[in-house]
Each structure stands twice: as C-alpha cells, then as structure tokens.
Amino acid sequence: MGKTQPASFRVAVQQERCRGCGICEEVCPQGAIRVREVAVIDQSRCVGCGICVEECPHGALYLKAYR
C-alpha cells in the first residue's frame, strides 16, 4: 500500500467575514469544522480539499500553505 501524503494546504478563517451560517460545517467531508459564533477548523482533521472554501457565501475561508 502507498503512503498518504499530508495535505499541502489547510483552511483558515477570516473571522471578520464569517457570519456563522454553518454551510462550511455541513459540506466538510472530514467533519473538521464546527461553528460556534464563527467557524473553527480542527487542523488535525482538515485535509485541505477546499470544498468549504468554494461553498462559503461570505468568502470567509481560504486555503493557506501548510508545512
């Protein structure tokens, strides 16, 4: 079996843009997002797929390089 490579990107939240709508939490296939007042990313679960970034209607999420 091949080894899984860690993701090169992780999701970050621009808290001032987040409205707490919960769409990102609903679409995350890894269950890496919880919304309280704003979205909170569990970086240990995030695989950097970017689905939440694409679906966020407020532009509050973005991918940043991860090392």
Q: What is the predicted pLDDT for the residue at 66? A: 75
* Phi and psi at residue 63, to the nearest 5°: -95, 135
Residue 3: pLDDT over 60? no
Total domains in the chain come to 1
Q: Which tens digit of pLDDT belongs to each residue from 24-63?
A: 999 999 999 999 999 999 999 999 999 999 999 999 999 9
Cβ atoms of 28 and 51 within 8 Å: the answer is yes
Phi-psi region of 21 (alpha: psi -120 to 50; beta: other; left: phi over 0): alpha
Report the SS3 class of residue 23: helix
Q: Is residue 41 part of a domain?
A: yes
Is 12 part of a structural domain of the chain? Answer: no
CATH code for position 52: 3.30.70.20
Q: With 0.85 as the threshold, say if the pTM is over it.
A: no
